[in-house]
C-alpha cells in the first residue's frame, strides 16, 4: 500500500499477462486488440 511506503502495483504470479493495443486513429474502444502471454511483468506509465 502506497500510504505505508509500498508500491502502487503488485505482481501476481498466478495471473496471465495481458496487454492491449489501440490504433492511433481508432474511432472507439472496440478497435482495441488484447493479447495474452505467459506470466511476465510489464509496467508502463
Q: Which residues are annotated binding-site positions for Fe cation?
A: 44
Grid cell for residue 30: 472496440
Cite the annotated binding site by residue number: 44
Q: Using H for helix, E for strand and C for coil, what is the string for the chain?
A: CHHHCCCCCCCCCCCCEEEEECCCCCCCHHHCEEEEECCCCCCCC
Amino acid at each position: 500500500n502506497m500510504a505505508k511506503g509500498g508500491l502502487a502495483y503488485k505482481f501476481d504470479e498466478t495471473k496471465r499477462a495481458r496487454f492491449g493495443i489501440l490504433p492511433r486513429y481508432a474511432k472507439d474502444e472496440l478497435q482495441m486488440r488484447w493479447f495474452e502471454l505467459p506470466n511476465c511483468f510489464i509496467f508502463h506509465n
